[in-house]
Amino acid sequence: MEARLFWIGVFMGGYAWLTRRWTSSGKLDTKERAAAWHALFFGMAGFAVMLILVLSVESRLRFVSAAAGVLSWREVLAGLAGGSVLALFGLWRAWSQGADAEKRRAFLNEDLEWADTVFSAVFLASLLMYFIVQAFKIPSGSMESTLRIGDHLFVNKFIYGVRIPFTQKRVLRFRSVKAGDIVVFQFPTDDPEAQHCGGQQYAKDFIKRVVAVGGETVEVRDGAVLVDGKPRGKEPFTQFVDSYRMEAPAMLPPPGEYQQYWQDGQLDGKLGDTMRDHFGPVKVPEGSYFAMGDNRDRSCDSRFWGPVAERYLKGKAWVIYWPPNRMGLIGAQAP
């Protein structure tokens, strides 16, 4: 969403700058040019409104954040439809009034004021969402009972450092990721066609609890988690909904191959659901994290698709703001 808002702000800012320049130079003094420029503004506004509406609906139906710079076909079609309708309306409105110089100046000044307002509000909102805080919604039960389906929450995006745009570098880091943190991240793959957990997960946002950080070794035996060979013991935030444990697979790849398959996100394709209760040991690469859902029997997590590299991390789950009876800070009990 923040990338969409950023570019909407950029285009509106550009429109406002050109409007000022061309108005002062007299380039928009004719009926035809004024009508075309007015229609362009209405078209841009219609495209932006429809794009945001579609993305808002999709983000509530699926826990998805589209990849920066990539528009879904739904967004494009809806934006073109909304933009075309409003552009035609703007053209008709300006053409019917454009013969009068005073009216031309009035609707161009009106467009300029709106463009300035949208530029300021949307551009600042995009910066806020990119660097400071962003809203998310929980779509599944993988984090129950800590987080429930339908919970709306804010994610702190600066606690692990402010990401420099268009790079993987972070500055002003308040603290590092720790085991026990509940984090939001983009699904760790750069392959749009990759299949995990029943479908394509590329560009989706996931929320899980960090179990181990880079350099630590993780293993799961009969559903129990061990880090560096030590059992976690009873974790108060986890739950197991099945009364049975799956049997360990009879044959496993050699340890080196097992580790590489896991790091490459290929292990689930070879071992399937058995990894739910019998997994590893694997060593978490430096600069990466091992993340699991609190609802261990119903979570698609690092057991199946590998480590979460730092570059995919978005922030730390901070506070539930909806529904009212669930409002409050999100506890991150240490293991």
Catalytic residues: 142, 208
**What three-state secondary structure class fits 79?**
helix
- 75 within 8 A of 2, measured Cβ to Cβ: no
Q: Which residue's entry shows tokens 């429109």? A: 15
Helices (H), the chain: 2-25, 31-61, 73-97, 101-131, 255-263, 267-271, 302-305
Query: In the sheet that 224-227 helps form, which strands lie side by side, from edge to edge?
Result: 230-231, 224-227, 217-221, 278-283
The burial class, CB within 10 Å (0-12 / 13-18 / 19+), for 69 is exposed
- 302 within 8 A of 283, measured Cβ to Cβ: no
Beta partners for 227? Answer: 218, 230
The CA radius of gyration of the chain, in Å to the nearest whole number, is: 25
Q: Which residue's entry shows tokens 């040991």? A: 281
Amino acid at site 143: M
CA 268/CA 272 separation, integer angstroms: 5
φ/ψ (deg, to 5) at 148: -110, 160
CA 272/CA 249 separation, integer angstroms: 10
**What three-state secondary structure class fits 80?**
helix
